[in-house]
Every structure is written in structure tokens, then in C-alpha cells.
Amino acid sequence: MRGVYIVASDRVADNAIALLSSLRLQDPDIPVFLIPFSEDASKVTQQLAELYNVQLFPDLALIEVLTQKISEIFPRDFLALPNKMRKLAAWFGPLDEFLYIDTDILFFSPVADTLAYLDRADFIWCDYHYKRGLEDVFSNVVLDQNIFSDQALKDVFNSGLWGSKKSALSLEALYQVLRECAAHREYFDFSSGTTDQPIMNYLVLKTIPNRLNIAKANPNEPGSWGGSPHFERRGHVLFDGERPLRYLHWAGTPMRAGGPYRDIWTYYRYLNDPEGAKRLSASDPINSSTPNAFTLVLPKLRQLKKTLKQQLRALIPN
């Protein structure tokens, strides 16, 4: 059985509703399971069940055991929020093949089309993170010590959207690799406040050799990052030139009034909630899709940050 996992709490209920609204337009019947981020998830669980037939992850005891084990493996000054790693439960849930989706995403294409790439690999993703090198994933230590091959390091990915097979990872292998991560915090780049992403990358590169990046496999794959200022809205879909986006991922860009592409988020959030749309505060207007000053300057700021990090690393002896 193929399907989707999300992780959510009541705090991100609006984002989860927007995601499911966009997803259900394309895939009305595909199974979707919610992994609760914390005990504070009763509201979002009920809303998504009623609106979009989202099921609660059936083995809550496994999630609690997994969270407790991770909290024991990682010191809090290394991994402050073990709950951030609850997405790992996807490998041990009811779905044989699955796509994991963060709630700061909207989907504009059938999820089934993305899941179809699991016919070709045991782990899939679809982004251009590799073009940024190892930023927000690994430190230069992994290069200096040859922890991974150069080819493997070209498979770094954003941990907000990925798919795999239940058979690709065992619980024993998971705990073994997590202990390895905890013993080598010098491998990872947490400088931008990432949490699960560096550890997720280490886990996948270590344990799942049959990997596929859809953005590389499909030469015409559009972009997906919410910080890109050039996407154009046509109807209720964003386009990258003449290519409709597979999905949009805000990934660290502001999801608030005045933020990038807020208008299309607002459309999907209130698509099945007309009463809520009427209650929209005047302080949260539906904005146009014209790039604002933030989206225009953000790519330059990211490049400046990358350059400064490289200069600092050059000054600090190994």
C-alpha cells in the first residue's frame, strides 16, 4: 500500500489544512496518516480526519518509544527537540511505500506521480539542495575524513519531502546509525538552526544505497523553494516559466501575511472553510503573487551567508 505521512501538532493546524486541501484536489483517496508531533495534536487530528479523511498513526506506543530512545541517544545540547525526529516513524508504520511531507508545503500535482518513482529506487526526493553543496547538512569534516564518497555527497537533500519503502530500514539499523551520529557531532552543520536534516541525510547515505533525486532524473523538473521570487501564479497553481510546480516548500521562508506566495497559501487554507475565510483578519490580507522586497533580497542574503561561512572556515585551522 502506498500513501503519505505528515507530522503535525495543533500549532501548525492551519498549515496542515492548507497542505491537505491542495493534496486532496489531486489525490482524493490516497491514504494519509498523521504522526502527532506531541500530545498537543487533538485539534488538528480531528480537523484533518473530518475534512480530509486523514488517519492517526496506528502505533502511538512505537512513536513514544522511538522519541524516548532518541532522547537517550542524543544530548539535549546536540538535539534539543527529539520530537523533531518523529518523522522517522514513517519507516515503521502501516504503509509499504510512502511519501513524507512537511506541513509548510503545498502540492500542485498528484502525489501518486511522485510515489511512482519508488518503482526505481528505495529512497526518493525532489529538490536542488545539492547545488548548495553541504550547507545545512554536513561540515567539512566529512570531506576531510572521507566519511562519504564524492558521489554520495551529491545526494544531499532537504528533509521536508522524501519517500521510501518500509523494507528499506530496520529499527536496529536506525538506532545503530543514530548512535553513530551522536558520537560525531563534528560531522554536521547546524549553523542555520536545522534539526533533523543533517541526521536524516547521514542516516540515508549510510543505509539506503538505491537513491533517486527526481530533480536530476527529470531534466525539466521545476523549482520548489518558497524563497524563489520568480514563480508565477496561474489560477491556483504556481509555474516556473512554462512548467507547473510539483510542489512549493517554504523551507525557512516566512509563512505569514506579507511573506512569499501568501495568497496561494490562503486560497488552499480556506478552500473548504468559507466561514473561516470570512473571519480573516484585516491584518492578514490576501496578497498578490508579485514578489515582495523580502523574496527579492533573500537569495542574495543566502549567498552572502554562504560566502562568509566559507571565509570563516578558511581562517580556522583544522
Whether 253 has a pLDDT exceeding 90, the answer reads yes
Whether 151 has a pLDDT exceeding 60, the answer reads yes
Q: In whole angstroms, what is the distance from residue 180 CA to residue 305 CA?
A: 29
Q: Are 23 and 118 in contact (CB under 8 A)?
A: no
Please give the angle made by the CA atoms of 245, 248 and 253, to the nearest 5 degrees: 145
Whether 277 has a pLDDT exceeding 70, the answer reads yes
When pLDDT is averaged across residues 221-226 and rounded to a whole number, the result is: 98
R_g of the chain, CA atoms, integer Å: 19
pLDDT value of position 295: 44
Whether 305 has a pLDDT exceeding 70, the answer reads no
The distance between the two most distant Cα atoms of the chain, rounded to a whole number of Å, is 60
When pLDDT is averaged across residues 236-250 and rounded to a whole number, the result is: 98
pLDDT over 90, % of the chain: 81
When pLDDT is averaged across residues 60-69 and rounded to a whole number, the result is: 97
The cell numbers describing 182, all together, are 551522536
* Mean model confidence pLDDT for the chain: 91
Q: 188: alpha, beta or left, given left = phi > 0 and alpha = psi -120 to 50? A: beta
Structural domains in the chain, sorted by start: 2-217 (3.90.550.10)
pLDDT in tens, 94-109: 999 999 999 999 999 9
Work out the pLDDT band at 311, boundaries 50, 70, 90. low
Which residues, in sequence order, are CB contacts of 177 under 8 Å at separation 6+?
202, 203, 206, 207
CA proximity to 35, closest of 75, 89, 78: 89
pLDDT in tens, 37-49: 999 999 999 999 9
When pLDDT is averaged across residues 305-316 and rounded to a whole number, the result is: 59
Determine the residue type at 129. H
The DSSP secondary-structure symbol of 255 reads: -
